[in-house]
Amino acid sequence: MSGRDLLPQPRAFAAAESPQQLRLQGSVWAQGLLRLAGWRLEFDGLPGKQGVILVYPHTSNWDFVVGILAKWALGLQLRFWAKDSLFQLPLFGSWVRWLGGVAVRRDSPQGLVRDTVQDMQAAQARGEMYWLAMAPEGTRSLAPAWRSGAYQVALQAQVPAGLAYLDYASKTICLRQFVQLGGDPAADLALMAQTFSAEHGLKPALASPIRMKS
């Protein structure tokens, strides 16, 4: 028996299956703006107060605009990693922080992943919400693979990973599937691919393959 065989198997579940399901109150005006633009929302709630949301594919700057409107429309309190230099700009830095931006501390001796895991665990101890949202591709350009940071946060903090997509073909914003990671990247990503395989970004040719960067 190999070490891989000893890893727990990844498991997919919907928020409605969780006894901790959290339903949120979103912004009516944000919902209205999305409807005017032709978008529809699919969301049943969150399985708990902490977790990671992986957004795929990310192929355009418009993803951020649509994503922020979706965040408000669904009532999500989300954090996201951003370059620390953005927070040094007058007014703009405050705006990014207000949106949920967390400055990447490049000088941290523990590293970004461990810092985020500790922040999430501290929020859990206080009974507070802490959901991190990230595009695992790390860029809107074509990349050879996913970056592992957000995956490692979900794995090390032992929190659910939500699978969110913006499908421009059907104009659907969906966050209904959640994954409990097993620790084997190949098996975990194979499970995620079942949700993401049919979704289309604004520029489909720029969608990166669903595999982990080595």
Name residues whose C-beta falls within 8 Å of residue 98's C-beta, 6 or more positions apart in sequence. Answer: none
The structure's pTM equals 0.86
Residue 198 has pLDDT above 60, yes or no: yes
Confidence (pLDDT) at 15: 65
In this structure, the dihedral spanned by the alpha carbons of residues 141, 130, 90 and 64, taken in order and rounded to 10 degrees, is 30
What mean pLDDT do residues 124-136 have?
A: 93
pLDDT in tens, 9-45: 677 766 666 655 777 888 999 999 999 999 999 998 9
Query: What phi, psi does 132 have (nearest 5°)?
Result: -100, 125
As a CATH number, domain 12-201 is 3.40.50
pLDDT in tens, 52-79: 999 999 999 899 899 999 999 999 989 9
Confidence (pLDDT) at 107: 62
Indicate the domain borders of the chain.
Answer: 12-201
